[in-house]
Amino acid sequence: MQPLSGIRVLDFTTLLPGPLATLMLAEAGAEVIKIERPGVGDEMRAYQPRLGRDSVNFALLNRGKRSVALDLKDRRQRERLWPLIDSADVLVEQFRPGVMARLGLDYERLRRRNPRLVYCSITGYGQEGPSRDVAGHDLNYLAETGLLGLAADRAGAPVVPPALIADIAAGSYPAVVNIQLALLERARTGSGCLLDVAMTDNLFPFLYWALGTAHVTGRWPRPGGELVTGGSPRYAIYRTRDGRYLAAAPLEQRFWDVFCGVIGLDAALREDAADPAATMAAVAGRIGSDTAARWRERFAGKNACCTVVATLEEALAAPHFRARGLFDWSLAASDRRVPALPVPLARRFRAAPGAAGYPALGADNALLAPEEAP
């Protein structure tokens, strides 16, 4: 018995934050039913490349779910949802504030029918506040909260992160955490609740060190000038002779001593607090004198917190991740199987490794109430 077996989730979300949240619920045993637009469905279905009928992005994020298709703007079709809403434990939506109310599907109305419902709204700026109606994407949320301003290149310009940090770490993950807390509270009180998950709000914990520095010293952190933004030789990326890179993070003295010994750094430069720029330049010169492969060999078995920057292809082939079983689960589509998206759930909470597909648009419309005659 998985921890969420018997829990029914109605998923009104599209693209990434909500679908990844409900994927984790599905992987923990919940029945997740996507509510999609007829003929089009979740916008992610149309992305490239394809896996079966739809995009691999959609397939990865919606493995093991069900799908019903109906026009939420049509009152008669909305009426077909009531049996599902009455039986649901969780509802997840990520429309702009006010949209679900205009559709007659806001929390207050649904609570009167189903007081045990946990209703989770995921948005960029939350249900209240001056920016609640502003359109945005991941990069905008990073920019608004100051996080992007601390991620600068050598010229001082912000760089585009390779991961959708706000969508996943500030949207999907907090949604799952709060849904679980709400279900625990419901077990005690018998009542559901409304959850307001704002991705911008949830980015500030990533800046804990910057907030602490600013509040205590009165000095705002500088991009490229702080311990974890490129201002220290102990936390930096260095280019190797063959054009690859070494990620060096020997922050603690015991690791720094080992690191300096491996690269043969001049003793006079090891006291890096005196002139961090000079030490960093010297370290860069040492790392740039040899290849990534040779540095990998030299650091092997050494406690120096230093690694060669891997490509994604190399990471997927790494013996460590293979041994951890991250890719034991499969996604099946047509006549193909690919590894399922690893999710941050303990193995004990997931079904046994195996293959599962993703839903065709409207494949589960039989779950809806019959459509009323005009």
**Same domain flag for 186 and 330:** yes
250 alpha carbon, distance to own chain's centre? 27
Residue 71 lies in a domain: yes
- Determine the structural domain holding residue 89 and report its residue range: 8-199+326-367
Q: What is the spatial distance between Cα 305 and Cα 229, in angstroms, rounded to a whole number?
A: 17
In angstroms, the CA 33 to CA 351 distance is 18
Q: Which residues pair with 67 in a beta bridge?
A: 34
> For residue 217, is it within any domain?
no
Same domain, 48 and 74: yes
Distance (Å, whole) CA 214 – CA 151 = 17
Q: How many domains does the chain have?
A: 2
Residue in this structure with the two tokens 């979300």, named with its chain if needed: 13
The answer to whether residue 86 is catalytic is no
Nearest C-alpha neighbor of 17 from the set 233, 160, 232, 174 = 174
pLDDT tens-digit readout, 132-159: 999 999 999 999 999 999 988 777 799 9
* Bond into 49 cis (ω within 30): yes
pLDDT (tens, 9 = 90+) of the chain, 374 residues, equals 999 999 999 999 999 999 999 999 999 999 999 999 999 999 999 999 999 899 999 999 999 999 999 999 999 999 999 999 999 999 999 999 999 999 999 999 999 999 999 999 999 999 999 999 999 999 999 999 999 999 887 777 999 999 999 999 999 999 999 999 999 999 999 999 999 999 999 999 999 999 999 999 999 999 988 999 999 999 999 999 999 999 999 999 999 999 999 999 999 999 999 999 999 999 999 999 999 999 999 999 999 999 999 999 999 999 999 999 999 999 999 889 999 999 999 999 999 999 999 999 999 999 999 987 66
Q: Are residues 310 and 335 located together in one domain of the fold?
A: no
Tokens read off for 186: 């419901």
Kindly state whether residues 335 and 193 are assigned to the same domain: yes
187/69 same-domain check: yes
Residue 373: per-residue pLDDT: 61
Same domain, 282 and 187: no
Residue 143: inside a domain: yes
- Does any domain span residue 182? yes
Same domain membership, residue 340 and residue 311: no
Question: Domain for residue 225, yes or no?
Answer: no
Which of 137, 257, 328, 364 is labelled catalytic?
137
Please pick, among 11, 42, 167, 201, the residue that the annotation labels catalytic: 167
* pLDDT for position 371: 82
- Alpha helix (H) residue ranges in the chain: 17-27, 56-61, 75-79, 82-87, 99-102, 107-113, 138-144, 165-167, 173-189, 208-217, 253-263, 276-287, 292-299, 312-317, 319-324
pLDDT score for 374: 63
Residues 312 and 341 in one domain: no
Same domain, 133 and 261: no
* Per-residue pLDDT reduced to its tens digit, 28-82: 999 999 999 999 999 999 999 999 899 999 999 999 999 999 999 999 999 999 9
Separation between Cα atoms, residue 290 and residue 218, nearest integer Å: 42
Q: Dig out the tokens for 243 from the structure.
A: 């054009």
Q: Indicate the residue type of 206.
A: F
The CATH number covering residue 240 comes to 3.30.1540.10
Residue 299 lies in a domain: yes
Looking at the structure, tell me whether residues 363 and 307 fall in a common domain. no
- Catalytic (active site) residue 320: no
Mark whether 46 and 121 lie in a shared domain: yes
Give the global pTM. 0.95
Per-residue tokens: 176? 């799952």
Give the Cα separation of 107 and 116 in Å (integer). 11
Radius of gyration (Cα) for the chain, nearest Å? 25
Three-state SS at 59:
helix
Task: Indicate the pairing of strand 54-55 with strand 50-51.
Answer: antiparallel
pLDDT of residue 307: 97
CATH number at residue 112: 3.40.50.10540
- The predicted pLDDT at position 372 comes to 74
